[in-house]
């Protein structure tokens, strides 16, 4: 019988300053890109040197807002810029593969916003191209690099929770319906699963690995993309993951990992800097961990930028923490769920 720990180990954190520095270029400056650049400039030594947009005036406004010295009139010009080491792709999902391949073909490292692509098939194309070119490529799954995630990984590795039997996670938000917008437009990779559902699905993969069986139920919007989905992921060990995502209502946005020795419950917005409670099984013993870094919300994007710089300096072409194989496996789960729901969209491959 495992003894419940008296204290939690100190949380490791990826150093945000003092390490290798990359010169970043940003493709498709929008809200997500703005949050990334702000966090990067505010909390790390990394710097954005160039930006490009299909609308040059938009790129100019973005550059002025974030102190970026170079504005390019096309994506092709940016990826050819010798002052850029790595390209951050922040476009709608439908453009991820094309823009990632553009950067890779120019010999640039690439960080692609989640999801890596519209489907596992497209993600494999990106991985093959990056491997062939010998450049670094990663999906920007920022939650993987937060201090809380590194600590949870340690607890799982040391068997503090025992055998994990159940993972539960949800992420729902209320989005105003816009048939032409990114969330609801099939041509842009719309739908809950690809947009915010990737967080609970990734979390289940993080805790339990890729599932051999996926069962999904849910509903579609009038544009044919998935409005909400409930997933059961089943594993050979008997473990399960119960996941939910929706664009119709705000949900608690919490997550739980339940094992034979203890249960770990993450606070709301489990995918952002927050905290968790570890409770012993069949006992009132519990331990509390809270992120005291002062980094809140999307400021946590800083950790992945610093991690990428260190990975590249160490000679990696993939992240040891979030390899391309994990991104592909998560998209395989999403492919399966979207296929079972009958969701429409340009997915670059068939759902299984």
Asked, for residue 54, whether it belongs to a domain, the answer is yes
- Beta-carbon contacts of residue 94 (< 8 Å; ≥ 6 apart): 118, 187, 188, 189, 346
Q: Is 18 inside a domain boundary?
A: no
Is 114 catalytic? The answer is: yes
Q: Give how many domains the chain has, as a whole number.
A: 2
- Asked whether residue 6 is domain-assigned, the answer is no
Could you say which of 91, 114, 142 is where a domain stops? 142
Does 286 sit behind a cis peptide bond, omega within 30 degrees of 0 on the bond before it? no
- Supply the CATH number for residue 252's domain: 3.30.360.10
Q: Are residues 208 and 330 in the same domain?
A: yes
pLDDT digits over 97-122, tens only? Answer: 999 999 999 999 999 999 999 999 99
Catalytic residue from among 97, 108, 114, 279: 114
- Residue 302 and residue 158 share a domain: yes
Same domain, 291 and 194: yes
pLDDT tens string 163-188: 999 999 999 999 999 999 999 999 99
Enclosing domain of residue 107: 23-142
Asked if 199 and 143 touch (Cβ cutoff 8 Å), the reply is: yes
Domain boundary among 86, 109, 142: 142
User: Is 350 part of any domain?
Assistant: no
**Cis previous bond, 115, omega within 30:** yes
Q: How many secondary structure helices (H) and strands (E) does the chain include? A: 10, 14
**Per-residue pLDDT in tens (0 to 9) along the chain, 352 residues:** 568 999 999 999 999 999 999 999 999 999 999 999 999 999 999 999 999 999 999 999 999 999 999 999 999 999 999 999 999 999 999 999 999 999 999 999 999 999 999 999 999 999 999 999 999 999 999 999 999 999 999 999 999 999 999 999 999 999 999 999 999 999 999 999 999 999 999 999 999 999 999 999 999 999 999 999 999 999 999 999 999 999 999 999 999 999 999 999 999 999 999 999 999 999 999 999 999 999 999 999 999 999 999 999 999 999 999 999 999 999 999 999 999 999 987 554 333 3
């Amino acid at each position: 019988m495992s003894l419940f720990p008296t204290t939690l180990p100190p949380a490791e954190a990826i150093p945000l300053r003092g390490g290798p520095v990359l010169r970043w270029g940003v493709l498709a400056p929008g809200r997500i890109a703005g949050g990334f650049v702000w966090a990067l400039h505010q909390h790390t030594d990394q710097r954005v040197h160039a930006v490009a947009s299909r609308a040059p005036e938009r790129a100019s406004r973005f550059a002025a807002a974030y102190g970026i010295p170079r504005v390019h009139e096309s994506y092709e010009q940016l990826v050819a810029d010798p002052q850029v080491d790595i390209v951050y792709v922040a476009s709608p999902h439908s453009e991820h593969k094309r823009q990632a391949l553009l950067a890779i073909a120019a010999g640039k490292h690439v960080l692609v916003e989640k999801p890596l692509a519209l489907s596992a098939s497209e993600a494999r194309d990106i991985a093959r191209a990056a491997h062939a070119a010998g450049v670094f490529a990663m999906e920007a799954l920022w939650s993987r690099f937060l201090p809380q995630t590194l600590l949870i990984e340690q607890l799982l590795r040391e068997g503090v929770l025992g055998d994990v039997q159940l993972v539960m996670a949800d992420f729902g938000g209320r989005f105003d319906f816009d048939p032409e917008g990114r969330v609801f437009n099939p041509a842009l990779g719309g739908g809950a699963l690809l947009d915010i559902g990737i967080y609970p699905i990734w979390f289940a993969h993080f805790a339990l690995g890729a599932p051999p069986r996926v069962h999904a139920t849910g509903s579609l919007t009038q544009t044919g993309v998935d409005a909400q989905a409930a997933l059961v992921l089943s594993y050979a060990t008997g473990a399960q993951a119960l996941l939910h995502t929706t664009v119709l209502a705000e949900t608690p946005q919490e997550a739980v990992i339940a094992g034979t020795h203890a249960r770990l419950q993450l606070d709301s917005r489990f995918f952002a800097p927050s905290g968790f409670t570890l409770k012993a099984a069949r006992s009132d013993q519990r331990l509390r961990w809270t992120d005291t870094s002062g980094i809140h919300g999307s400021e946590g994007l800083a950790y992945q930028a610093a991690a990428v710089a260190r990975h590249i300096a160490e000679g990696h072409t993939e992240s040891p923490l979030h390899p391309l194989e994990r991104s592909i496996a998560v998209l395989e789960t999403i492919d399966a769920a979207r296929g079972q729901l009958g969701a429409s969209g340009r997915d670059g491959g068939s759902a299984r």
